[in-house]
Amino acid sequence: MKLLTILAIASAMAASSTAFASEDMAKKHGCLVCHDASAKKIGPTWKTIAAKLKGNKDAEKIITETLAKGSKGVYGTIPMPPQPKAAADAPAMAKWIMTH
């Protein structure tokens, strides 16, 4: 029982540290200027992105590619410019966005 409790706590801590790390990455790359978890800004919310891609086995790949290459017309008329400086962190941010 103690082992299960320890494993559950360790798992929760690992998951939360990934989320915090990715939120920090989003701040570092300026994503918060246009995006938020739930409040509509210039771009779609992370909840909207996650909901649109829910069930898509390539969701994280799609987000990672969008960060690198940008997109146009996916969530409205305002294009998402490419974010080449975020490329190294893009897979982790994509995974985090899909948790919303």
Residue 16's pLDDT is what?
46
From first to last of the 100 residues of the chain, give the pLDDT tens digit.
564 545 444 454 444 444 456 788 999 999 999 999 999 999 999 999 999 999 999 999 999 999 999 999 999 999 999 999 999 999 999 999 999 9
Residues 6+ away with beta carbon under 8 Å from 100: 37, 45, 46, 47, 49, 50
For the chain, what are the domain ranges?
2-97
CATH architecture of 2-97: Orthogonal Bundle (1.10)
